[in-house]
Structures are given as structure tokens and as C-alpha cells.
Structure 1
Amino acid sequence: MTARQPSPAMRALLDRLAREDQGLADPTTLEPQAGRSLAALTNIRWNEDLPPVAESRNLMQAGLPARLVVPKGDTGRDAILHVHGGGWAFCSAATHEAAARRLADATGARVLTVEYRLAPEHPYPQGLEDVLVAWAARDPGFRWSIAGDSAGANLALAAMLRLVEDGGALPAQALLFYGVYGADFATPSYEAYADGPGLTRAKMQRYWNWYAARDLRGRPTVSPLAASDAALAALPPLYLNAAGIDPLCSDTELLVARLRALGRDDPFDLIEGVVHGFMQMGSALPEARGAFEQAGTVFRKRAA
């Protein structure tokens, strides 16, 4: 894979981040709580100019802290269980508030972001179990879908694979943004973007070491690319995207290739010129706002 160049807007934003974050440590090299605090500090800035919504409030979902966002254009019919990213170890409903609002606005669905237990204190399968508990406690008055970004997309897809295995009720559809679907650190995109910008191979290796021991990584609910054809074929309609400048780009491309080989036509958008996590940056990055609109268009068409 030939390394792609950032778009002008992404380049300007990367330059801004380099200035603002000068001297800050890599949070994955710190003790978990310190890394979590730093990740929260550097993510919360994306909550500037929050998109207006009808309601945004904290609640408990099956004993788990969660945050509900209801869009102004709430259909009253659809809801999305939103699983935040952060390497299975960082971030929260608070760091993803703006993303949840943009997702709600784009889809017309209310969005429930759940707080699952974080690694390394709570490695696999504890975070996944929390997602499944939250799913089981969903309000039956709504048609539920699921969404997630990065490690959140991993957990969302893993939850669906577990539901397939157990014969549970599946989401109506799923929106999966630049997900982690395997632990192969020698894919074309890992080779091209091993040193970033943004996410790096070393950071992902540290996240993986926190989340799942090597002998567990062949399980489909850890690495969804290991799922059987039958399990992938049984999934509900998906929407997937990938960031063009991202060590994880090949993960999504490999998953899409598996789905295509099964005759599925799940929409996939490769967003060129942006780095991993770009959809967090909607207050400053046009490509992020556009990505939510693309996903929302697919969601609304299916939900009609």
C-alpha cells in the first residue's frame, strides 16, 4: 500500500494538534488511570460547538452508566446502542458526546452510549459482556440498531457474532466506523502507517496487550476476521467505513472482502485523506461531518 497524503483540512488539523499537544505523553505508555485522564483531556476538545439536540442526559442501563441523546428530528421509532472507541481502555460517553449527537442527527434515531468496563483492569470478555447486557436491557418500544467506532466497532461486531452464536435477537442494522477486526500487525495499512500520523502500530500493540492475551486473539469475538462464513452471513445489514490514513484501514478492507465473497452488499466508504479517529473531530473537520451524513443516509434508507 502506498502511503496516502492528508487532505488540506486534515493537514491543518494535524498541525494544530501538534502545537496543542506538544510535550504531552503518549497515553498508552502511562499507567491506565493516567492515560485515561490524558485521553479524556485530548478528546474532550471535540465537544466544542455541540450540535443541538432535543435531549441529552445521563441514565443507568442495566446497572451501567450511559448517556442518551435524542435528536430534534427523533423518529420515535429507532434507537442505536452506541459503543465508544478508545482502544478498549480509554474514552467514555463524555468524550464521544459530540459524535453521539452527530450520529443521532444524521440517523434520526436516539443514541444510547453505554459505559463498558475498560482494560487492562477489565480485559476481554468483560467489556463485551457489558455491551451484551446493555443490549439485552434495551427498551422494547424501539427498533434497535448498534454502532461503534474503532474498538467500539470491534465490540459491536463481536456482540453481534455472540448473538448469532447464541440465537439472540440481532440489531436491525449496524454502523461500524474504522474498526479493529484483527490482530495482524503486518497488513498493508499497518506497514504503510506504522508510525502514524495519529494512531501507530506500537499504540495498537499496547492496546491489544491490555485487552486480550495472544492465545485469545483467534476467537471471533476478539478478532471478528476469524469468524466463520456462516456467522458473517448471518449478520444484519452493515454499513462500514475506514480512514484512508490509518493502520487499521486493511482490517475493514479485509472484512469487506469477506462479506463481498459471501454475496453481501453492505455499503463501504473509504474516506480518503483522514487519520484514525477522524469522526471525533467533527467540530473542525468537514470530512468527519460528511462521514456521519453518509452513514445517516444509509441508515435512514434502511429504516424507512
Structure 2
Amino acid sequence: MSPSFSVVLATMLVVATTAGACIAGVELSLELSLSSYLLSCPSTCLQHGSDPNIAEQQIVKDVTQAAVQRNPALAPKLLKLHFHDCFVRGCDGSILLDSTARNKAEKDAWPNLTLGGSEIIDEIKTKLEERCPRVVSCADIIALAARDAVSFLYGSDSLWPVSTGRKDGRVLKAEEALANLPLPFSDFATLLRRFQSKGLDVIDLVALSGAHTIGVSHCESFAARLYDFTGKGDTDPSLDKRYAEILRTKCPPKFNNGVTVEMDPSCSLSFDSHYYQVVEQHMGLFRSDAALLEDSTSAWLVDFM
């Protein structure tokens, strides 16, 4: 990983907001801190003399890294879970809420139907409840687990610091996922508007797109680039022709919705800057990847990374 990529990506992933009330009754400060559990975690819940912040983060790290060691594909899933949580009402854990008879939850909106990793969050929450009941929010667990999963994949103890103190949200609004999340078929102008609505800029957009260096995608997220880009049965002209042929073999016209393709060709489990090389070679999987070359500033940043 280039120094520029690691520094910028780490900086962007520290960005977080809080929103909503608390699912588990967790009442923490609205201010995020690296020591938010020093006063809120009862001493009886901790081993004698231990730092509550270290204790709770160690539990998250142990469970997460054990899971990723068993299944490396969980790392990109946990990172995506965190990103999708944060882009709707802030990093409030609402991505975990189930739909009710009256309201459809975020997790059931189209962009979130392929999300995974929630079972790891549940496992961590169970262990933390045994130690410190109703203290550590699911929102904090998601943020910590994303960091620890990617750090393990990268071979580092910690790629970026994660402050804690988020509250868990209760609001169920599936339509907000579609209205807020950057979508894989978005052009540059649409992507930038959605990032700017969160107080983020073009640097954030390019840096966070780099998360596509790990993980896979289902064919439906990019099939239009192969078979019907402008509604006339054509292929996206910005897509490398040889790469388009490879994608067509993996995702034929009548593809199986369960088929997945690496977002970073042949490099989907290595957290590095290779994604940006792929984008420059016109082999970005999504329309949103190719869109980074549409703007002079974002194109320069892609080259810089």
C-alpha cells in the first residue's frame, strides 16, 4: 500500500456521526472519544485493574480476527456494513434493525440485500453483554469490527484509530438507503452530491472508493455496463474491451443472481492501492469506479494514490 493511500483512507474512515436513541439503553456522550467507556463501564464488569476501553476493544478484536482468519471474505463484508451504516443517519447501528409490520428497515432496501457480517456483530455483542451489560453500542461494535477485520487482512494491528461513544438508532426507513447511499451505477456528479451531503469532498470520495480493493459484487450491480449501457443493448465504452469479455463469461445475459465477481481483479483479499491501478486501466467493475476518471480532480487523485 502506498503511504498516500494508507494515510488518506485511514483519515477518512475515522469520520463518524451519531444519531438516534439507544437500542440497548446505552447512554453515552454524543462526543466521540478514545476513552468513552472509562466512566460508563461498571468496574464490576471488568477484570481487576483493566482499562474498560482496552477490554471492550480487545473482545471485538479477538472475535473479529478469529472470524476473518476462518473466512477472509468477512473482512470486506464488515467494512461494507460499516460504510452502509454510516451513510444513512450516521454511524448509528440502524443497519442491523429488522423490518416490522409497519416499517421496512434499511437492511431490506435493495443496496443492502447482499450485506453480510451481522452475525459477527451479534457474537461480539453477546460477549460484551456478559462483561458490561447495556454499555457498548452496536454502532461502536460495527466501527471497531470493520477496522479490526481490515487490519487483520492487511497484517497490521490497527490501520486507523476508532473513537467510541456512538448511540444506537431506532429509526426504520428503507427509502433512506436508496436516497443516501452511493450506488454502483452512479455517475461522478451524483456520487459527489451524495458525498457532499454528508460533509465529504472529492478527496473523501476517491479515498473511500478505494475500499473496493477488497471484496466481491453480484452481477446485477454492473451487468448494465455489459449489455445495455444506454438502453440500446450496448457496452459501456469506458470499460476495457478485454475485461468486458471476461466479465461476460462470468455474468452471461441470463446470469444467476448468486454469481459474484471480484471488485479488484485477482486481488480481492489484499488491502492495498491496486484498485487505483485497475481504475486507471479502465477495469473498474462499477460505473461508479469508472466515474472517478470523469473529473479532472478525482482522476488526478486516482493517479496520486
After TM superposition, the score normalised by the length of structure 1 is 0.26
Q: RCO higher in 1 or 2 (8 Å CA, sep ≥ 6)?
A: 2
Structure with a larger share of its residues in strand: 1
Give 1 or 2 for the bigger CA radius of gyration: 2
After TM superposition, the score normalised by the length of structure 2 is 0.26
